[in-house]
Amino acid sequence: MKQYLDSAKHTFHTYKQLGEKALSQVDDNVLNWQANEDSNSIVAIVKHLWGNMLSRWTDFLSTDGEKPWRKRDAEFENEDLGREWLMKIWEEGWQCLFTALDSITNEDLDKIIYIRGEGHTILEAINRQIAHYSYHVGQIVYISKLKSTKEWYSLSMPRNKSAEYNAGKFSQKKEKRNFTDDWIEKE
């Protein structure tokens, strides 16, 4: 189970860094851009991730993951609060998640925790949040790429570089490693 937790943490770190690298490629005026009134801005997505992370991972072993203090609907309100504030809550949400993950023991993975009264093993809850957070980081990446006014720096495998990328991969010694190891910085 340690391997699972290590893999989950690595995956969360990967998506955190993908989001940060995408955000670094857009100007501040893009943070509140919406394709239409039913779509979310980067600000709304970050606020939602932050609210979800704090709610799900604060006292997660003893309280429901949907906290009574959470104001989920307000997370989707578009506010012009600036990049500094946005990055502050981005970091706060992720740190809440990583602190919670660091507290989990092998014996905890089969424990039942609740989200809106629905029971999940901790392993299931982690999988649920990996899917949820990667979905929203993907939205941030898409908006950032769509609205970037600079030449886009690829976050994974650059377009029209598959053969070169694969040649580099196949030239390496075969060993166990994560496919995203060259996408993210080591922490």
Express each pLDDT in 37-80 by its tens digit.
Answer: 999 999 999 999 999 999 999 999 999 999 999 999 999 998 88
Other CB atoms within 10 Å distance of the CB of residue 53 = 24
pLDDT higher for 156 or 178?
156
Tokens read off for 121: 């093993």
Cα–Cα dist 142/33, whole Å: 12
Q: Is the pLDDT of residue 173 over 70?
A: yes
Average pLDDT over residues 108-120: 94
Could you state, in order of their start, the residue ranges of all structural domains in the chain? 2-154
Cα–Cα dist 31/44, whole Å: 9
In words, the CATH class of domain 2-154 is mainly alpha
Q: What percent of the chain has pLDDT over 70?
A: 96
Express each pLDDT in 74-105 by its tens digit.
Answer: 999 988 889 999 999 999 999 999 999 999 99
With beta carbons less than 8 A apart as the criterion, state whether 65 and 114 touch. Answer: yes
